[in-house]
Chains A and B, each alone.
Chain A
């Protein structure tokens, strides 16, 4: 009897659990650490549909006429339901909000010319920055500095200018990193600029749980082994709030 009740409610329970996990990730904003904006509404819609399906299943499923016993051994069937339920619940409970330095090492491009091609938004940011007040630090993204490094005219326009850049500070390599995401965190790739100079404030970041930092300094574009690598001579490195979008779009 208990077994039959379990198998009756199991599909609805699994559908509801998945819907709850997905909705919780959307509502809490944790989905920003996992998925590109273009897929987030799909997850919201899917979670609502899964709720509706679980209710509809309970309404339209007939326990009386159901076959008396499943043909699959009980232990195996129970294992199947647990596999449908547990991994997603556990992953939602224990997942990080930012990919760690360890994964960064595994995914980092080996050389500057391996940086991915960027377009669209970054090019627009760079154009807007060109017309900003030259006496004030220009707010730029790590990806903007890489976009600039691909064009001689823009290198000349920005070389020696004060910039303000937010990213994940890696004190061991003196790098400021941003992750670029195409679809989801599984395909995210880190890009970085070198940070030299005043890094006294970096100790505060190293000791904090959040590695987000704002670097203000002078940008240069030295050539290393034939490749131009953006570099910031830092005036200050300060802890910063995590941006609303932890990943940048390519």
Chain B
């Protein structure tokens, strides 16, 4: 609808298919090495990390685990493409899905590199305020989400295949089976190939959707409402959901949106790394559709609530 509306604007360029292919490939090429790295780490965990050890390391309560996962997100930052196979493996090794999911969400959102790039992007526009608001609001939304996740049962969150792959030797979707007697190397290779292809499938769909909006969305469509206290944060969230930028890049793009209020820019910076159209599909590789929809609604709702209060008080 937005794309159709865009094509009616006098300044709109619409979609050019070779540009769409270029943007799609660019997203794929940027993310695939990290996805592969994540699958390799996941394969190593499959072979060398006993499930008992993982369980012994974990905090006793899920709530404590959620806060530990928030800290891990800051200390061990990894992009969302690389994190997904690792999180799948952690869940199969016995890490509560609430804890693993909190880490998945926190790693790109509280990433120190993302905060440093935010400072650089806004260095002419009160950078410390923007960095503080980004970190503070992201942490608040993550705590809200983490506490909600801690109340959910694993089967409410995780696809059955995600859990079963760790317990049965075959993958019902692709019939992978290691050669008998080939030991740890075979186990490693099969785990890497399985995890990589499984997440890649959803990554392709997400990248295609992101590429459509990357080239076809007129970014000035939302500018007229960017200063409004109520609609500004909504515009920021909508832009983040459609453009699907990485958390280390997004600040440079939104910093150039001068018609947007600070609240709208913060809404963009908080919501985007937690979930967007690309991440929606990536999350679907591990979680049930209903859970992803609820996660989406809560993330955007909490972001809107915080930024709206900031806009009204400011």
Which residue numbers of A lie inside 8 Å of B, CB to CB? 7-8, 10-11, 14-15, 18, 22, 25, 31, 33-35, 39, 42-43, 45-46, 49-50, 53, 56-57, 59-62, 65-67, 70-72, 77, 80, 83-84, 87-88, 90-92, 94-97, 99-107, 109-111, 113-117, 119, 182-187, 189, 250
- A-B contacts, CB under 8 A, total: 211
5 smallest CB-CB distances across A and B, nearest first, come from: A102-B13, A96-B18, A95-B21, A184-B26, A105-B13
User: Is A72's CB under 8 angstroms from B22's CB?
Assistant: no
Given the complex of chains A and B, what is the CA–CA distance between A92 and B256 in angstroms? 31
User: Is A57's CB under 8 angstroms from B22's CB?
Assistant: no
Q: Is B245 an interface residue (CB 8 A)?
A: yes
- Closest chain B residue to A46, Cβ basis: B33
User: Is B12's CB under 8 angstroms from A34's CB?
Assistant: no
Partner of B178, one of A22, A61, A109: A61
Given the complex of chains A and B, what is the CA–CA distance between A110 and B259 in angstroms? 9
Residues of A within 8 A of B259 (CB): 110
User: Is A66's CB under 8 angstroms from B177's CB?
Assistant: yes
User: Is A87's CB under 8 angstroms from B24's CB?
Assistant: yes
- Interface of chain B, main secondary structure: helix
Residues of A within 8 A of B6 (CB): 106
Given A15-B193, A53-B196, 14 other A-B contacts at CB below 8 A? A53-B192, A53-B193, A60-B178, A67-B170, A71-B173, A84-B200, A100-B18, A100-B19, A102-B13, A102-B14, A103-B19, A103-B215, A119-B120, A189-B252
With A34-B29, A35-B29, A107-B219 as given contacts, are A100 and B13 in contact (CB-CB < 8 Å)?
yes
Stretch at the interface among B181-189, B290-298, B302-310: B181-189
User: Is A110's CB under 8 angstroms from B220's CB?
Assistant: yes
- Closest chain B residue to A98, Cβ basis: B22
User: Is B16's CB under 8 angstroms from A102's CB?
Assistant: yes
Q: Is B95 an interface residue (CB 8 A)?
A: no
Stretch at the interface among B68-76, B141-149, B206-214: B206-214
Partner of A7, one of B174, B190, B219: B174
User: Is B33's CB under 8 angstroms from A60's CB?
Assistant: no
Residues of B within 8 A of A115 (CB): 256
- Closest chain B residue to A76, Cβ basis: B173
User: Is A117's CB under 8 angstroms from B13's CB?
Assistant: no
With A35-B29, A87-B208, A116-B252 as given contacts, are A61 and B22 in contact (CB-CB < 8 Å)?
no
Cβ contacts A to B, 16 pairs, < 8 Å: A39-B33, A42-B33, A45-B33, A60-B178, A60-B185, A65-B179, A66-B177, A72-B172, A80-B173, A84-B204, A87-B204, A91-B25, A103-B13, A104-B13, A106-B218, A110-B259
